Amino acid sequence: MKLFEYQGKELFGKYGIPIPKGMIIKEKDDIRDAFKAVNSGNGVVIKAQVLSGGRGKAGGIKIVETPDECGKRVDEVRRLKINGHAVQEILIEERIPAKEEFYLSITVASDLGRPMLLMSSKGGMNVEEITKNFPQYLGKVEIDMAYGLFDYQVRGLLSTVGFSGYSSSSFTEIAKALFRFFIDYEAMLAEINPIILDQNGKLIAADARVEIDDAAIFRHSDIKKIKDVREKTSEEFLRDQYQLEYVELDGNIGLISGGAGMTMTAMDLISREGGKPACFMDCSANVSQTGYEVALRTVSAKEGVTSILVNIFGGMTRMDHVGEYLVEALNKISPIPQPLTIRLEGTEAEKGKEFLRKAGLSICETFEEAVKKAVTLGRNK
């Protein structure tokens, strides 16, 4: 789960990482008072809180000098949509003029199975841009889970990326604090970009990007609280409520399948036949009448779906059960407006198909045949 910048900063602050003075502006708050409270003489930065990148380019960050201007700009920012995300909250912060900007992050390097610290003396741009344009100023070091992060590793990186002498010890302290946070909160990513070096030679975390491992949230009550109050997307709702793995796409073939690899492959075959999948819907974690019913209802109600494909390969799942559940689910919903194409294979598949045939449904024998038929039916609509 991704955290908003202000939530990440609050946690960083608890680990002793210096953060700017700031506050969240609510709809009814007096913006003039807020401006005065955070301004330290250099104006104020208004920052849209969204979980999407490209916030600056979309106009979600504004620098203002006066309380009046602040009020006007806050209203503007509140109305923005950033990469399709509505701005839910707004952070205002003291503006800190930067002498230099650095990059620091800790991620899970999945190919190594251990954490990796990344650092650059070219902060303020995203890590792909740094990798592309300034590879000589980007340093990486692996961290051993048994021993943690050592000072010498950070200092070694500082010299690699051309960070000259000043405040290297406070940089090391920040890196170590970030690592403590990363471990304590079971983060997948903890990023400060940029870390600002201010006019007085002090380092301050000017941004925070944090992603917590979804599988570990049960151990972190404060993160769980954040999750519980957040509005759920339909994808999150289906996962939490019905164990359905759902990803919305923009095509016309409503796809229902079982297993991540199989569902992805079905998407690929649909595209290969000239169709476009409308979604990724993996029902393997909830093989039940309810599971299929919710999946069918969701897919059928999705805008632009002209044809539905159900493709299930049962390993440990018994296909006679699947056939039965599908028939029951369809009886409850009927009539489904879109044509339905079904392919079942695996344990007790013949019995499953029998159930469906008796209910007047036609069955395709192979994966490829089913995809072809679903795409053709979708086109004729």
Partner 1 sequence: MSILINRETKVLVQGITGKTGTFFTRDMIKYGTKIVAGVTPGKGGILHENVPVFDTVLKAVEETSAWASIVFVPASLAKNSIIEAIDAGIKLIVYPGENIPVHDMMIIKRKLKESSSYMIGPNTPGIITPEEAKIGFMPFFCYKKGKVGLTSQSGSLSYEIAYGLTKKGIGQSTVVGIGGDPVKGMEFVDVLGLFQEDPETEVIVIVGEIGGTDEERAAEFIRDYVTKPVVSFIAGRSAPIGKKMGHASAIISEGRGTFESKIKALNEANVLVAEIPAQVPELVRRVLG
DSSP H/E element including 115: strand 114-120
Q: Whose Cβ is closer to partner 1: residue 86's or residue 145's?
A: 145
263 touches partner 1 by CB under 8 A: yes
Looking at 14, 230, 272, 381, which residue binds partner 1 (CB under 8 A)?
272
Angle (CA) 305 351 338, round 5°: 15
Distance CA 178, CA 181 (A): 5
Q: Whose Cβ is closer to partner 1: residue 20's or residue 314's?
A: 314
Site size toward partner 1 (CB under 8 A) is 52
Q: How many CA atoms lie within 13 A of 130 on its CB side?
A: 23
In the chain, the largest separation of any two C-alpha atoms, in whole Å, equals 80
- Given a contact cutoff of 8 angstroms between Cβ atoms, the answer to whether 206 and 7 are in contact is no
User: Residues 6 or more apart from 62 whose CB is under 8 A from it?
Assistant: 45, 46, 73, 76, 77
- Least distance to partner 1, CB of residue 200, Å: 34
Beta strand 22-25 with 44-49 is unpaired
The interface region with partner 1, picked from 106-114, 160-168, 172-180, 300-308 by CB under 8 A, is 106-114
Q: Whose Cβ is closer to partner 1: residue 68's or residue 240's?
A: 240
Distance CA 276, CA 283 (A): 20
84 touches partner 1 by CB under 8 A: no
Residue 368: other Cβ atoms inside 10 A: 13
Looking at 31, 96, 270, 340, which residue binds partner 1 (CB under 8 A)?
270
- Least distance to partner 1, CB of residue 231, Å: 19
- Residue 43-82 contact track with partner 1, rule CB under 8 A, x = bound: ----------------------------------------
Joined tokens for residue 370: 């089913």
Question: Helices (DSSP H) in 84-233: which residue ranges?
Answer: 127-133, 151-160, 168-184, 221-229
366 touches partner 1 by CB under 8 A: yes
282 touches partner 1 by CB under 8 A: yes
- Least distance to partner 1, CB of residue 260, Å: 3
Looking at 98, 127, 226, 333, which residue binds partner 1 (CB under 8 A)?
127
Distance CA 160, CA 100 (A): 17
DSSP H/E element including 369: helix 367-380
What is the phi/psi pair of residue 303, to 5°?
Answer: -60, 135
DSSP per residue over 123-146, as a string? -SS-HHHHHHH-GGGEEEEE-BTT
Q: Whose Cβ is closer to partner 1: residue 128's or residue 303's?
A: 128
Q: Whose Cβ is closer to partner 1: residue 90's or residue 210's?
A: 210
In three-state secondary structure terms, 210 is: strand
The interface region with partner 1, picked from 87-95, 197-205, 329-337, 363-371 by CB under 8 A, is 363-371
Q: Whose Cβ is closer to partner 1: residue 24's or residue 249's?
A: 249
- Residue 155-194 contact track with partner 1, rule CB under 8 A, x = bound: ----------------------------x--x-x------
Looking at 84, 165, 261, 360, which residue binds partner 1 (CB under 8 A)?
261
**Conformational region of residue 25, where left means phi above 0, alpha means psi within -120 to 50, and beta covers everything else:** beta
Looking at 288, 289, 347, 376, which residue binds partner 1 (CB under 8 A)?
347
Distance CA 9, CA 179 (A): 14
- Least distance to partner 1, CB of residue 281, Å: 10
Contact footprint for partner 1 (CB under 8 A)? 108, 110-111, 113-115, 127-128, 144-146, 183, 186, 188, 213-216, 218-219, 245, 247, 249, 258-265, 267-272, 277, 280, 282, 284-285, 313-316, 345-347, 366-368
